[in-house]
Chain A
Amino acid sequence: MSAGRGSTQPASAQPRWLEIVTAVQRDPEGAGLGACLCRECDLYLGADASSIALVMDHAYSLVAASSNLAVVLDEEQFMLGEGPSFDGARSDVPVGTGDLGSDRWARRWPGFLGFAQRAEVQGAFAFPVRVGEARIGVMTAYRRGGGELSTQAYTDGLILASVAATLLLRAQAGTEDGGLAQEFAQGVNDQANIQRAAGMVAEQLNLSVLTALVRIRATAYARGLPLNVIANQILSAELTIEP
């Protein structure tokens, strides 16, 4: 957009949303919708890793990620209960920064900051995936380098998150009542042991399941282990959470 004053300047040949929808639906290798969304999120937002996840009540389940970096950064946030993706899933507007280490953001997400720094990630931008008032999940772009998103990247993120909501729901629309689209099944199944462990701990300590989930997260964090490792230790009675 560098046209001089007074000139008429043609913009791109097709509207941005159409370009993005077309790009997302390009899937020559049959990678699946989630993978295509993350691939385009990397490209359009200049991200080093992207993820898309369902977040419903207190349950997080991964739909897809463009690399393992995004998986661990996502999981860390939902274990800690803080971070841009965690907040973005509950927000009406995008949440994120290109400078996680700055005072303002370090105060907001102190736990996540340490983890992001070890992973050498300076920026994280989370876009709510929602349809009207219905929250579905969150799409997150992680960047190793610092710096904020350009206006174009920001608006592309809005378009991608909206496209994600539409296409993911369309995938779900093809399933039978009560069924789960292929795009979601794996991530939800991966959560099964965590949910079951929460039920066990709730029964052992006479807590609500939600409180039990918080206790499991805190234990995972304190021991520096992934949530599902802790969950498996609880299920096999290898680990008992103290009252």
Chain B
Amino acid sequence: MTTNDTAIDLADLPWAGSLASAFAWFIHAASDGLDTVDLLTELAQRCVEILPVAASGILVVDQFGGLRVIGSSSDSAQLLELFQIQNEEAPCLECCRTGQAVFVHDLSAMARRWPRFSAEVMGEGFTAVYALPLGSQHKIIGTLNLFATSTLAADVIASAATLADAATLALLRVDPTQDEIVMARHLYDAVESRNVIEQAKGMLAQRFDEDPDAAFRRIQSMAHASGVSLARVARAVVDRREAVLSDIPLD
């Protein structure tokens, strides 16, 4: 299942923590409603910050099927990509057409295939170029392009692909209206209320020397009398402040 056998110490991979944080950031940003341009600009910037990549840029397919530059780590990367579009020759375009990643480990060897592009890129001091697809096989929304001054290790490319995946995942959200943070809160509350009710049952059963069912009925009647939820009564019991239950505002 793995395509790369490079053994690394999880904790020692220099960018492991940054990669995990960036991944989480993209997923979170989507649920915060961050817009596409900001998200993709962030992707280009994170690649340069986290990985040993000299420059990076994002090309997206616009509504007319053309390509446009949407985010880049620097002006120079932006210029290069504009150049690609104008010339209609370059790895990024090929990646966009085929949906497959294109790795150019040594640009000088590819000068014949992409003469003007190679000359321009090498003129900026870069020797290697990588284009990774954004989107799925069925729907390519753009490419993440990395420019480097030496061949990138498989680790680095895999990490960049993970960031590209996170950004794509965020952009292609099936149901962007679903607020996962709110759902996480509901899940937390549902679990927490069950736990605290059991804790309160245990305390009351012990205090009044009764069985758990009787303790639960006691919680129910306290809830009924004070007009608050079972979970809030249970919380008050556990915190030993059930005496002030009547002061809890109605919920």
Contact = CB atoms under 8 A, between A and B. Distances in A.
Interface of A: 1, 3-18, 43-44, 46, 54, 56-57, 59, 61, 92-98, 125, 130-134, 136, 147-156, 158-159, 162, 165-166, 168-170, 172-173, 175, 177-181, 184, 188-189, 191-193, 195-204, 209, 235
Interface in B40-82: none
Contact of A158 (B162, B186, B212): B162
Contacts of B91: 8
A9 B4 contact: no
B1 interface: yes
Contacts of A201: 202
Contacts of A181: 187
Given A1-B3, A15-B165, A152-B3, A199 B136 contact: no
A15 B164 contact: yes
Contacts, number: 260
Interface residues of B, number: 86
Given A8-B91, A8-B104, A132-B31, 18 more contacts: A3-B105, A5-B109, A6-B104, A17-B166, A98-B10, A132-B32, A132-B181, A133-B28, A133-B181, A150-B6, A153-B2, A155-B161, A158-B19, A159-B165, A184-B191, A195-B199, A199-B203, A203-B203
Nearest to A42: B1
A18 B187 CA distance: 26
B122 interface: no
A199 B197 CA distance: 9
A3 B103 contact: yes
Interface string B184-210: 111111111111101111111111000
